[in-house]
Amino acid sequence: MRGGGELIEIRFHARGGQGAVTAARLLAQAAFMEGKHSTAIPFFGAERRGAPVVSFCRVSDEPIKISSAVCEPDFVVVFDARLINADVIKGLKKDGTVIINSQVKVNGFISVDASGIARSLGLVRDNIPMVNTAMLGALARFEIVSLKSVKSAIKETFDERNAIAAEQVYREIIL
């Protein structure tokens, strides 16, 4: 794990229906499979499909005693590039990383075309590409958890295409 033993905090930004809550849960599950401690924290309000949504995950080799929202993330994962604004990167640690689902390179961020990958695999609902599992492949590249654990967690909930999406992002992302 990046830094070895430290608490890693991840904040997911998406639109309602894109699976940010599920992504946090799957990441926490993958960490648990590796014997790590993890928490997934959904943030619910009056969200509706398409409205901005936030979800959080913490991963550590030590027990986690924090159960609040992640205010100073190590990683910000953005499922929809149209959500990029000051609020999305607010509190990002100095050496933090932003991973964004975008077809074009976004300066200062790590960009990956998770939507294109999801569409190519038929992971679309109501004409919206489901990028949550694909974006977990990007986090695996940072060794928060292994790709093997991410794929295992995904397969417990979704079909093989979702695990393939994670692996494609893992292999295609440029760090």
80 falls within a domain? yes
Q: Check which CATH number belongs to the domain holding 36 and give it.
A: 3.40.920.10
119 falls within a domain? yes
pLDDT tens-digit readout, 118-134: 999 999 998 889 999 99
- Average confidence score pLDDT of the chain: 92
101 falls within a domain? yes
2 falls within a domain? no
How crowded is residue 68: how many other Cβ atoms within 10 Å of its Cβ?
A: 8
Strands (E), the chain: 8-15, 37-43, 52-60, 75-78, 97-101, 110-112, 124-125, 128-129
| pTM greater than 0.85 | yes
pLDDT tens-digit readout, 50-101: 778 899 999 999 999 988 999 999 999 999 999 988 689 999 999 999 999 9
Structural domain containing residue 79? 8-172
72 falls within a domain? yes
3 falls within a domain? no
Q: What percent of the chain has pLDDT over 70?
A: 93
pLDDT reading at 158 higher than 60: yes
45 falls within a domain? yes
- Torsion sign across C-alpha atoms 107, 82, 129, 143: positive
Residue 175, amino acid: L
Predicted pLDDT at 129: 93
Contact in structure between 93 and 6 (CB atoms under 8 Å): no
Instruction: Please name the residue that has the structure tokens 């909930």.
Output: 157
1 falls within a domain? no
The rounded distance, in Å, linking the Cα atoms of 50 and 117 is: 20
Closest by alpha carbon to 123, among 154, 145, 81, 153?
A: 154
Q: What's the Cα-to-Cα distance from 78 to each of 54, 114, 130, 134, rounded to whole Å?
A: 10, 11, 13, 12
Q: How many domains does the chain have?
A: 1
| Torsions phi, psi for 119 (to 5 deg) | -60, -40
Instruction: Please name the residue that has the structure tokens 């509190």.
Output: 91
